[in-house]
Amino acid sequence: MMDKVSNAFHNFTTFMDNNTRGVQFGCYSVALVGLTVAVRKVRPFSKFKKPSDIPNHFLRERRELVGVVDRIEPHGTLLMIRHKPLINVPFISSGHLPIKISGINVSGLGCNWLQAVLSHEKVTFIPISKDKNYVQCQVLFTQKDKQQKEYIVNVGEKLVKIGFAVPELIEKPLLEDTLYMRYYKLLQKAEKHAQYKKLGLKYYIKPTKQAIFELYQLAFLLSRYSYSALNKGLSKIPKIYVS
């Protein structure tokens, strides 16, 4: 039995010694195929410019992408992001990928906030779903506190928390998406915070209307008082008769 095993092992090593180049070629071929598959899956050189450029498996895997916000498009409150691939190739032209912050409706004040805070800033965006004209994403960026320590800000959660956006109604299949529902619960919690602190447009409008009404009443009373005082002053001026 041992002689058979020894002979089989000897035959195998002899074959390997006599076919080194063939074996090497086979290994290189397998490695090349694996590299090709990996590149197609990861897309390290691709600069995404429109929703259809993003592979569907990026959405399923919640793949984090990076880019710079060049501007905010007021119509629809879209972040026009210049996507940065893992490996930047200079001769591949860049474009602007339109991103909508998922799960929220942004107010005009929210759009102004985005322009002030995110313009020309580097952000991380996680694609959730694709529309014809934009990609719905979670958007994250890094800020520094007073001690210059960096922390991550979830843009959707922040906008809702300060009252500049409200969560929108969601439907299937997102209702059945565990990862998305975790994000949506953050939005709902942020909304409760804004309501408790009375932040947001509806809380700004009511006091503003009341202040304008009170100023109007004050101006009206002052005008009546001034008119009355003027009449009294005029009545005390002696009349001059011309003969």
Tens digit of each residue's pLDDT (9 = 90 or more) over 188-216? 999 999 998 887 655 555 554 555 556 66
Q: How far apart are CA 216 and CA 207, in angstroms?
A: 14
* CATH code for the domain in which residue 75 is found: 2.40.50.90
Tokens representing 187? 């939005």
What the block records as the tokens of 157 is 């959660």
Number of independent structural domains in the chain: 1
Domain-located, residue 55:
yes
Q: Is residue 2 part of a domain?
A: no
For residue 133, what are the domain limits?
A: 51-201
The more confident residue out of 94 and 188 is 188
pLDDT in tens, 58-81: 999 999 999 999 999 999 999 999
- Alpha carbons 208 and 201: distance in angstroms, whole number: 10
Over the chain, what is the mean pLDDT?
A: 79
The pTM of this model reads 0.68
- Encoded tokens for 175: 């209702």
